[in-house]
Structure 1
């Protein structure tokens, strides 16, 4: 007998241990419905197994897709799991659906809970026991988890269904807050994209669609390569350490890969842009730093209006993923910049504030995710 470290005060009894196969649970498989069968005008709401990886969390509150096909349909309180993936980690997922008659595709394992176990509680407990789930996975190139495997999943649970429901509802509310914060973040990202398009000059145009304040001066044509210079990198730190005082920058830039005390680091530069694989970052180092990858270029801006030029580079960066890696392409792109330095500063400050709000929002989301992870560890056995 065990019990979790954090509980609601009205529940005191120990939790029981049991394998899933000993519960009154019917295990079914979805059927059919390929991606080509998804149709916005279809007559049946449906869930494709791939959406369990990318779209649905532990609690399904709305259905994304429709189809005209379907032979296996959901019942309220069903728990859905993907049964195959190219990595085993993806199979430690479960989502409880609160809708009848949703068509379920192949490669979905349906755990139909009938009594003594709440579906939402079961979905959260499966996700919080990733290590146990991975022990049940089979395969080499493609990994699978089957009904016969899940029957051996051992879990601790409270006999009182009300405690199960309260735990499930508690985490559902946390996810609701996370969904709201993620929605706000995406809206702000979209707003920034819109303003990049409005405040910078489109190809073929002479001035932007929107001007801040009362600025009316002309914008001059420039080549991006003329705005900055590449700082040569003589050596790279291919194996980041964790015992030094100098930060190590790798692809993606955040988080920093580690710290090192080796030589050949870069000294401080003002107005540095780090240009890498699909990423552009303004970096203002407080100490010298290392570069861990030859895929990163260090660009020193010739103008002090760093936020203006960082966002200009973002706006002009080629949309094709394959070309984002090559500064040789980016540096030849023609653009326009305002002659008035104060207009550059105003645009840069506008985007600096947006980036600050985005950064604050991202930190809030990360903090909520960490809180959820902590509570999942403490409120389940």
Structure 2
């Protein structure tokens, strides 16, 4: 095959096989590392292996270039290719290439190199390396017509522009949610939140956490042979850690055991240990209705004794207000644990009006729906780009 599977119809010529070092100029000799304590802050982007490391005063390169990571972790994702145009500082962890004028378009080069799997060419251990000599001798195919290169390059730049826009929107939504998790719940020393939804007024009630619910333990008396089979299921630790509401599609199998505590709709699960204090007591609300569902042994359950809105609780226990209360309770050195008895002594403030609980819960539920839709859109665009990189290059 001498042309890619997908191409613009106005171009018919075969693609030529070329050696990278023959069609690119390399400017590695201009790279200069900067010790962090010697950096003078400025507005020039300072690039390393994994992108922009800092902004500094001064530059090593000025023009249109393609940067390829020289070394990084073994994960191939840590070997990004970056198109840059303008003044930049590049340290000694990124190769600096520039397509030869009239032979190789730099934007095309950026995406062409991005379609190559570097993994077979890496050498070394913990920080595998893409040697300059190996890179220079990479063989790849390019269109002989520079206009086809330009059109392909601009096509992928437009895709990246759409992706940048969607990622920016997603980040803004995430930040908005974080702000509202701070503003819609009462802070210590206050009687009501900074922002109220609708026409709700009045102080929130001060309650002791243990007075509004009871705790229970997760699975006990099990070994590794008990997991992965059976007609019952359990909620794994990672499901709770990652989700404010349990993902019912990611439960795991176990045998039915009537001695264990079965979970119920509306229960809240808390993780009991973590690697950092900031990650203790991460919570997740269970909204399923199946029988014979248990909780993993590294978490404990909390079952409200009175009617409280489950969606409100899902976001309340993930709010800055509650997290600021629970993090100081973490104890440990290499691994941190939390006492559920100490947690149950915490004083919290919640709305007395169930309607306000419902309004707050629904607000965040819709926010998460928008975020999920946005993330799916980004993933779909990334998959389309990946497919086209595979089909439009050789």
Q: TM-score, normalised by structure 2?
A: 0.79
State the alpha-carbon separation in 2 of the partners of residues 3 and 245 from structure 1.
54
Quick check: 2:229–2:254 contact (8 Å CA) kept in 1?
no
- 155, 160, 184: which one aligns with 2:169: 184
Matches of residues 1-381 of structure 1 in structure 2 within 5 Å? 1-29=1-29, 30-40=31-41, 42=42, 45-52=44-51, 65-70=54-59, 72-76=60-64, 78-99=65-86, 101-115=87-101, 116-130=103-117, 133-228=118-213, 229-234=215-220, 235=222, 249=236, 251=238, 252-253=241-242, 262-264=254-256, 269-276=264-271, 278=279, 280-285=283-288, 287=290, 294-302=297-305, 303-315=307-319, 316-318=322-324, 323=330, 326-328=337-339, 331-381=344-394
Are residues 323 and 38 of structure 1, via their aligned partners in 2, closer, same or farther at CA, if it must alter by over 3 Å?
Answer: farther
Distance 1:127 1:261, change over 3 A: same
Q: Taking structure 1 as the reference length, what is the TM-score of the superposition?
A: 0.81
After TM superposition, the structure 1 stretch with the greater mean CA deviation from structure 2, 296-305 or 111-120, is 296-305
CA RMSD of aligned residues (A): 3.5
Q: Residues 224 and 322 (structure 1 numbering): CA distance in 2 closer, same or farther, change over 3 Å?
A: closer
- Rg bigger for which structure? 2
SS in 2 for 1:221: strand
Cα pair distance change 1:109/1:256, threshold 3 Å: farther
Deviation string 1:128-179 (CA, Å, 9 cap, x unpaired) is 222xx11221111322222112012222221222222211211111111111
| CA offset digits 1:223-249 (Å, max 9, x no partner) | 445545345223477998699996874
CA distance in 2, matches of 1:257, 1:37: 51
Taking structure 1 as reference, are residues 293 and 268 closer, same or farther at Cα in structure 2, changes over 3 Å only?
closer
SS of 1:98's partner is strand
**Aligned residues of 2:17 and 2:141 also touching (Cα < 8 A):** yes
Judge which range, 333-342 or 281-290, deviates more.
Answer: 281-290
Distance 1:149 1:241, change over 3 A: farther
* Paired residues, number: 364
Does the CA contact (< 8 Å) of 2:228 and 2:252 recur in 1? Answer: yes
> In 1, are the aligned partners of 2:317 and 2:323 still within 8 Å (CA)?
yes
